[in-house]
Amino acid sequence: MSDMVKTLRERRQKLWEDMKALADKASAENRAFTPEEQGAWDAQNDELDKLDARIKSALDTEARAKEADEAFNRLHGGKKDSGAGKQPEQRGQGGGEGGGQGNRAEELRSFLRGERGRFYDVNPEGPIDYRTLTKGTASAGGNTVPTSFYDRLIAHLIEVSAIMQAGATILNTNSGEVIQVPKTTAHSSAAIVTEGNTISASDPTFGQIPLGAYKYGTLIQVSRELLDDTGVDLEGYLASQAGRALGNAFGAHAITGTGTSQPRGVVTDATLGVTGGSGVGGAFSGDNIIDLFYSVIAPYRASQSCKWIMKDSTVGAARKLKDTTGQYIWQPSLTAGAPDMLLGKPVLTDPNVAGVALSAKSVLFGDFSQFFVRFAGGVRFERSDDYAFNSDLVTFRALMRADSSLVDLTGAVKYFAGNAA
């Protein structure tokens, strides 16, 4: 971590202490913020968000610089990639299997230049560790992520989807036919049985969830000059643009999808944990958040995929919360690349979660490994030199098929709902 990032993190910590002091003063005097204090709080909250963005940008830049140096060294026969094991193979139309990462990269670049047909399928070959691909920054795993084109694209897809970051269970299939996944709606129960009496049957209740393959697509246009410039990391650019576009589209449905002509989102099947008080416009209190935390039973809370998901604007309200002893239940991260914590669990943000409002489901909490995401095959790239012929642009179309659903409906994921009045 560079000195610049360390300085930014020190500024962030000092700012947080100033914000706590401001809130503590109002709390000690048993009053709300004055207009001046509210203005100062809002300004400091905005600055905290800007510092978070600068820190993330700086760490991403450092990671990209490191990757570029390693790629340059490999290109010129310098030090080799320290990662163990072979990278996933990628096949293009009319081409066989590459003999190494360099051959596969050249195969892809040949397709991008129009030298290898109009279609290119990028598929994972073998198991993919999606949790490792939740990189964001070098310290969060970026330095260990494989650099194949598929992995780079999926890493960008995860980067913009809180559900994928939270540790959803991923199912990869080669084809797109509907598959049936068991869902749990009730668990077995036990009771005391006196001597000689019959033990009552109690079976878990199961159902089935069909996971299909809804098609997502995006168009990316590239100038011919950019294609012909061999010094441009064109693979990285396309992986970034396609991954983020597909991730944004799928990520919205993974949160609020209805399951009708689109994936089924986690909010659709999550269970009510806590309802807020009346007369507060749907806002939550510190007690509400603590109650929501304990509404999820211990086995789910103990999961590594147990996290909070809320909208960015909701985070500002959560930062002010205290427990009954006056201690803040929000813990800002002091480690580069690590998320802030709320009651000891990571907080992720997603713009598709509802904001604080009457009847709104504004906070999600639970074990997101019980949310299944199905990918049908890899990502299909298609190239057209004719679509924007008069602009001398080459158009690439990226297609991905996916579906999703929560499979444990017994309370693995719960939500806070604002009061209706």
pLDDT of residue 188: 58
In single-letter form, the type of residue at position 290 comes to: I
pLDDT of residue 371: 95
Q: Same domain, yes or no, for 390 and 333?
A: yes
409, 182 Cβ separation under 8 angstroms:
no
For residue 329, tell me if it sits in a domain. Answer: yes
Enumerate residues 6+ apart whose C-beta is below 8 A from 133: 141, 145, 151, 154, 155, 158
CA–CA separation, 56 and 50 (whole Å): 10
Please give the tally of structural domains in the chain.
2
The predicted model scores a pTM of 0.70
Q: Same domain, yes or no, for 359 and 275?
A: yes
List C-alpha distances in Å: 276 to 181, 273, 364, 405, 419. Answer: 34, 10, 14, 26, 5
Instruction: Name the 3-class secondary structure at 229.
Output: coil
CA–CA separation, 327 and 323 (whole Å): 6
Q: Same domain, yes or no, for 345 and 406?
A: yes
**pLDDT tens, 55-113?**
777 777 776 666 555 554 544 444 444 343 333 333 444 333 334 445 566 676 677 76
Q: Same domain, yes or no, for 118 and 218?
A: yes
List C-alpha distances in Å: 106 to 95, 228, 233, 295, 382. Answer: 11, 13, 12, 53, 17
Token pair of 175, please? 């084809």
pLDDT of residue 114: 67
Which regions of the chain are under pLDDT 50?
Answer: 72, 74-101, 126, 133, 135-146
Q: Same domain, yes or no, for 22 and 159?
A: no
For residue 83, tell me if it sits in a domain. Answer: no
Q: How far is CA 227 from the centre of its chain?
A: 30
Q: Same domain, yes or no, for 109 and 66?
A: no
**pLDDT tens, 378-392?**
888 888 888 888 988
The distance in angstroms from the start CA to the end CA of the chain is 49
pLDDT of residue 354: 96
Q: Same domain, yes or no, for 155 and 303?
A: yes
Q: Same domain, yes or no, for 347 and 413?
A: yes
Q: What angle do CA 354, 360, 365 make, to 5 degrees?
A: 70
263, 214 Cβ separation under 8 angstroms:
yes
Q: What angle do CA 292, 298, 301 make, to 5 degrees?
A: 65
For residue 294, tell me if it sits in a domain. Answer: yes
Q: Which domain holds residue 208?
A: 96-184+202-421
Q: How far is CA 279 from the centre of its chain?
A: 33
Q: Is the dihedral of CA 53, 59, 64, 69 positive or negative?
A: positive
19, 44 Cβ separation under 8 angstroms:
yes
Q: Same domain, yes or no, for 214 and 159?
A: yes
List C-alpha distances in Å: 78 to 24, 68, 70, 116, 145. Answer: 56, 13, 8, 29, 20
283, 316 Cβ separation under 8 angstroms:
no
CA–CA separation, 34 and 41 (whole Å): 10
pLDDT of residue 275: 96
For residue 194, tell me if it sits in a domain. Answer: no
Token pair of 103, please? 């051959």
We report the CATH number of the domain holding residue 320 as: 3.90.1690
Q: Same domain, yes or no, for 212 and 350?
A: yes
* Residue 63 Ramachandran class (φ > 0 left, ψ -120 to 50 alpha, else beta): alpha
265, 168 Cβ separation under 8 angstroms:
no
Q: Pick from 17, 44, 77: which residue ends a domain? A: 77
